[in-house]
Amino acid sequence: MENTRRENFKRLAVARTNEVLKRVRILGNCSNRSSYDYTEEEVNKIFSEIDKKIREAKAKFTFPNRNKEFKL
């Protein structure tokens, strides 16, 4: 059971990571000034949102400190 869960994680994590990386590369194509017009503010807004979502996703993987002493 545990091995299957691990294998599922690895399979999905690799596929999903590769999909995200592909989409980021495709987003980079929007930087072509001969095809697109954009402002620095718009670019900052895009990457600010991406950074926010990455921090949120990463936080879900944080392991709690199980050795932490209880305090009131």
Q: How confident is the model at residue 2 (pLDDT cuts 50, 70, 90)?
A: confident
Amino acid 7: pLDDT: 96
Residues 8, 62: Cα–Cα separation, whole Å: 19
Q: How confident is the model at residue 63 (pLDDT cuts 50, 70, 90)?
A: confident
Q: Apex CA 25: angle with CA 41 and CA 34, to 5°?
A: 60
53: Cα separation from own chain's centroid? 6
Residue 41: CB atoms within 10 A of its CB come to 8
Name residue 57's amino acid. A
Residues 21, 23: Cα–Cα separation, whole Å: 5
